[in-house]
Amino acid sequence: MHFEVFAIGTAFVFGLAVRQVGLPPLVGFLAAGFFINLIGPRFGMPGETGPILEYIAELGVLMLLFTIGLKMKLRQITEPQVVGGALIHFIVSIGVFTPIIWLLFTSEWMGALLVGIALAFSSTVLSAKILEAKRELGTFHGRTAIGILIVQDIIALVVLAIFAGKLPGPWALLIFATPLLRPVLFKLLDLAGHDEVLLLAGMMLSLVIGGVGFEIIGLKGEIGALVMGLLLSGHPRAGELSSSLWALKEVFLIGFFLSIGMSGLPDWNAIVFALVLAALLPLKGILFFVVLIAFKLRARTSFVTALSLTAYSEFGLIVAAGIPAAQDYLVPLAIAVSVSFLIAAPLNRFAHQIFERFEPQLQRFELSTRHPDEQPKDLGDADILVFGMGRTGTAAYNALIEKGHRPIGLDADIYKVEGHAEAGRNAIFADAEDSNFWNSVDLTKITAAVLAMDDLEAKLIAARMLRASGFSGTIVSHALHADHVAQITEAGADQTYLTMQEAGQSLAIHALETTDSENAPDGERAAPA
């Protein structure tokens, strides 16, 4: 039981502690990893703790990449700001970091170059975890960030092939045949049902077919898990599959953050190395911001995307571990990655507030032309706004249509908006957390607003911005938790409803109406609705 005491107990204590001060739990998990590494051997920690955590971490990463693939579309990866942004940032980063490493830490150009390459990557796990927690994977900036990370992972595979001599064999060409699997995978998902078999289907596709299957043909399992998710992203039950894997994936990812913290105890040189790289971390974010601005993205999108990518990558550790000339830097790099996580996680928690604070200064860098996805929005003759066009928002939209209103749906997921447009609904791409949207939108014809987003922060910002824009109409919001009601009301909402409570009350009313109807005399029974 010693493994459970050290891994689960320590992770819980540290995760709970940092949550009380408003930091993401993953910061506590990283600290727990260092703590276990420091005191574990003295108190009888079993020797297999590290390998077990690394194995669990690998499963968590595979499942994370699989769920990311479920929420993406292949064309997102081929957009100019994604491919161009990733390549330009990678090349310039090497040009910046390599001379610094050579001047401060080594006299060997090859070692400096390999460390510079490792530092050029951004953390896929951290960025995806933060974006998912904030429900921003489907937003424009979330899609851009994830696309860049995927391109970086592909670059990392090329680097490993060149410097470590790990060239994929001819079987790797089978990756181009994977689209042929789509009908089979769709049918498999149809047959899996809605219970534990669906969960097992997700695990098999991500860990077995994606993870092990791709390693057999000479490719990384991480790429395989992502490809499997992409192949299934068009299935109607992709969201349900992702939800079924959520809790299991979160538990396994705790092992990832613990294993990063347990990667090695630093000596003085490693600490200095990590502190210097922590000081250089802003350069990474600034470079992303400049590159994305050059691709005509607005300051807000560029800033939030850049901040989500401002962390050194665990994939850089994989690159360093796989190249003999870079293995001396493995522990210093692991410490630097951990420190970058500790810096990036809380900053990303308050990314939108930070941008609002520095918005006037950052907007000066915007180009006069804009990306098509970021043009000002026209609400037409709509009279009610529905923010968030998921299941709750769509139901509200349809109910308003039935009552004779002219609602317009707004959502930050462009693909969700396209789906609603194809279904005949009046929906546009817009982000309620985007100050530029509020500065450019005309609310004079709007009489009411429905806040149907899941994310609490998005609802709070939308309510505040509506009131700050002079909107005096009714604001109605749903809430997932009772402790959110007061916050949303204080932000400006007139009425806030607990979604599950309202659903339960509606069920009770329907039950009573049906019972009363069935018990009424034959001539008085109401016709079914």
Over the stretch 239-294, which tens digit does the pLDDT of each residue have?
788 888 888 888 888 888 788 777 666 678 878 888 899 999 999 999 999 999 99
> What does the chain come to in residues?
529
Same-domain pairing of 452 and 499: yes
The set of residues, in sequence order, having a beta carbon less than 8 Å from that of 402 and lying 6+ positions away, is none
Same-domain pairing of 155 and 225: yes
SS3 at position 80 = helix
Whether residue 373 is contained in a domain is answered as: no
Same-domain pairing of 344 and 392: no
Q: What is the residue type of 520?
A: A
Residue at a domain's end among 365, 396, 414: 365
Same-domain pairing of 340 and 396: no
Whether residue 404 is contained in a domain is answered as: yes
Same-domain pairing of 310 and 458: no
Same-domain pairing of 258 and 406: no
**Residue 281's CATH number:** 1.20.1530.20
Residue 199 and residue 244 in contact, taking contact as beta carbons nearer than 8 Å: yes
Of 481, 493, 421, 480, the residue nearest 450 (C-alpha): 493
Whether residue 408 is contained in a domain is answered as: yes
Same-domain pairing of 210 and 330: yes
What is the spatial distance between Cα 190 and Cα 301, in angstroms, rounded to a whole number?
37
Whether residue 520 is contained in a domain is answered as: no
Residue 303 and residue 238 in contact, taking contact as beta carbons nearer than 8 Å: no
Q: How many domains does the chain have?
A: 2
Over the stretch 46-84, which tens digit does the pLDDT of each residue have?
777 778 888 888 888 888 888 888 877 777 778 888 999
**Residue 449's CATH number:** 3.40.50.720
Of 502, 430, 418, 429, the residue nearest 466 (C-alpha): 430
Of 320, 293, 289, 327, the residue nearest 307 (C-alpha): 289
Over the stretch 121-161, which tens digit does the pLDDT of each residue have?
898 878 888 887 777 777 778 888 988 988 887 787 777 66
Residue at a domain's end among 365, 398, 428: 365
Over the stretch 329-340, which tens digit does the pLDDT of each residue have?
777 887 888 888
What is the spatial distance between Cα 41 and Cα 37, in angstroms, rounded to a whole number?
7
Relative orientation angle of helices 238-261 and 196-203, to the nearest 10 degrees: 60
SS3 at position 508 = helix
Same-domain pairing of 309 and 451: no
DSSP string over 128-149: HHHHHHTT-TTSHHHHHHHHHH
Flag whether the pTM goes above 0.85.
no
Q: What is the residue type of 143?
A: R
Same-domain pairing of 302 and 421: no
Same-domain pairing of 255 and 323: yes
Whether residue 523 is contained in a domain is answered as: no
Whether residue 326 is contained in a domain is answered as: yes
DSSP string over 88-134: HHHHHHHHHHHHHHHHHT-S-HHHHHHHHHHHHSB-HHHHHHHHHHT
DSSP string over 443-463: -TT--EEEE--S-HHHHHHHH
Confidence band for 529, pLDDT divided at 50, 70 and 90: very low
Instruction: Tell me which residue has tokens 């409803």.
Output: 497
Tell me the chain's radius of gyration from C-alpha atoms. 25
Q: What's the chain's average pLDDT?
A: 82
Ordered alpha helix ranges (H), 40-104: 49-70, 74-77, 80-104
Same-domain pairing of 7 and 144: yes
Whether residue 521 is contained in a domain is answered as: no
Same-domain pairing of 114 and 193: yes
Whether residue 378 is contained in a domain is answered as: no
Domain that holds residue 418: 384-515
Over the stretch 472-525, which tens digit does the pLDDT of each residue have?
899 999 888 888 888 899 888 998 888 778 778 778 887 887 877 666 666 555
